[in-house]
Amino acid sequence: MTLAPVAGTYPKARRIKFRFDQHDSNDKYFVDGDMVFSHFVAGLSGGFPPGEESFIRSVRRVADRITDPLLKKRIAGFVGQEATHGQEHRQLNRKLVEMGYPIEWIDTEQAHARMLAIEERFSALVHLAATAAAEHYTAVLAERVLSSDEIQSIPAEPEFWNLLNWHALEELEHKSVAFDAFRAAGGTEGVRIGVMAGLYAFTLPFTFGSLAYALVRDPVARRQPVRVAREAYDLFRGPIFRGLMVELAKYMRPGFHPDDIDTTALLKHWQTELFGDDGVLVDHLK
């Protein structure tokens, strides 16, 4: 069943600032002392700013085809949230580069120019279909991060968790915006599912490839191949990846809508936890 967004409710960007300057850079493997897990998370964070900028461009490309006032407001909220995610992840990414994570290549001027050239080769609707598909990835990951005690109990830098939980919360708040914009702009099921199928085929090779690249460039990883193998096994058998491909594939069912997966209660819980009267992140708001 598709749940239409309640009239008058739409995602709103929060003005927020995280502080990563207190981190002790000697402690390189900031996720549970786990080298592979830390490289995986650093790679994800490295990819967010340019990825989210592309998402924003994709909805802007169809702006003149959107007439529904509520959808326009939802798109404005989506753009504001993604722009803030990019800003805050860039801040974290600077820290991660200082700590020795090889993620700077993802967000250079050349990479930006390459991304623009790729976007121009596709129609606005294909570009937006890629965004809607990527938003399914972020929504699935966000739901996992916010609903799994196993994930939440992984020891890591507190400010890193704060950033991740805030980002995950807002990903759920706007999870159907790009999808609805795609439909409103005339996107068909064929294009939506076809684009997702392409992205889906690319998911594991891209994840393994970029993780392997990062690990090969880490001298500690090169000296400890057994540790790398054990941690990689644990990561891909663990709560982030277990059953992930099945959940991602749900998007390819004809008639699927992101709101078919009801995350309302989870969203309410975390809105209160982070931004309620005693919210953990109220003091981070500007």
Give contact residues for Fe ion (rule: CB under 5 A). 82, 85, 138, 171
d(CA 243, CA 210): 21
For tokens 């509520």, what's the residue? Answer: 70
Single-letter code of the amino acid located at 163: L
In terms of Cα–Cα distance, which of 188, 187, 60, 54 is closest to 112? 54
Cβ nearer to Fe ion, comparing 151 with 212: 151
Q: Closest separation between CB of residue 175 and Fe ion, Å?
A: 7
Q: Closest separation between CB of residue 52 and Fe ion, Å?
A: 5
Residue 79 DSSP one-character state? H
Cβ nearer to Fe ion, comparing 174 with 232: 174
Q: Closest separation between CB of residue 184 and Fe ion, Å?
A: 17
Q: Closest separation between CB of residue 272 and Fe ion, Å?
A: 21
Q: Closest separation between CB of residue 174 and Fe ion, Å?
A: 6
First to last CA, the chain: 38
Q: Closest separation between CB of residue 178 and Fe ion, Å?
A: 7
d(CA 210, CA 213): 5
Cβ nearer to Fe ion, comparing 159 with 170: 170
Cβ nearer to Fe ion, comparing 171 with 231: 171
Q: How many CA atoms lie within 13 A of 22 on its CB side?
A: 6
Cβ nearer to Fe ion, comparing 85 with 228: 85
Residue 4 DSSP one-character state? P
Q: What is the DSSP string of 242-267?
A: TTHHHHHHGGGSTT--GGGS--HHHH
d(CA 44, CA 136): 15
Q: Which helix (H) or strand (E) holds 75?
A: helix 69-98
Angle between helices 35-61 and 177-184 (to 10 degrees): 30
Cβ nearer to Fe ion, comparing 85 with 284: 85
Q: Closest separation between CB of residue 35 and Fe ion, Å?
A: 26
d(CA 77, CA 66): 15
Tokens of 3: 């749940």
* Closest residue to bound Fe ion by CB: 85
d(CA 112, CA 51): 10
Cβ nearer to Fe ion, comparing 82 with 107: 82
